[in-house]
Amino acid sequence: MSYDKILKDTQTNFLKHKSQAEDTLQEYKEDFLSMNLAALKSISQHAENIIKSMDSEIVKNNLTESWLQGKIAVTEDYMKTIHDFVMFASSSDDKTVAGCGCGKKKATQQPAKKEEPKKKD
């Protein structure tokens, strides 16, 4: 087998696998888009239902529960982060540190070294 044939076969296989990988990535992206859009619509519908039901004393009373304040505050923060990223992040931004920074590696803190007592001469 000649060097040229091996090189040509390698290039052909590489391009074939690269194309398959790009197709798979595009399928994942389409799935994520569909799932994320459905989740955002659900969030919006639930929030609208609560707001539209504000004439109900039960709804008003339930909204005064103290544990809801934390849940609503966290949800608001998450939604603002999602909004700002989706609306304003450029495609070249580092996605691992966007928003909450969940993908960013945390610096590991080394424990303090225990000092040996000084020996008296």
Domain range annotation of the chain: 1-52, 54-89
| Torsion angle of the four alpha carbons 58, 61, 64, 67, in this order, in degrees rounded to the nearest 10 | -50
pLDDT of residue 115: 60
| Residue 100: pLDDT band with limits 50, 70, 90 | low
User: In the predicted model, what is the mean pLDDT of residues 10-20?
Assistant: 76
Distance separating alpha carbons of residues 6 and 10, to the nearest angstrom = 6
Q: pTM for this one? A: 0.58
- Cβ-Cβ contacts under 8 Å for 53 (sequence gap 6 or more): 59
14 vs 42, residue with greater confidence: 42
| Residue 1: pLDDT band with limits 50, 70, 90 | low
Choose among 114, 110, 87, 109: nearest CA to 98.
87
Is residue 119 pLDDT above 60, yes or no?
A: yes
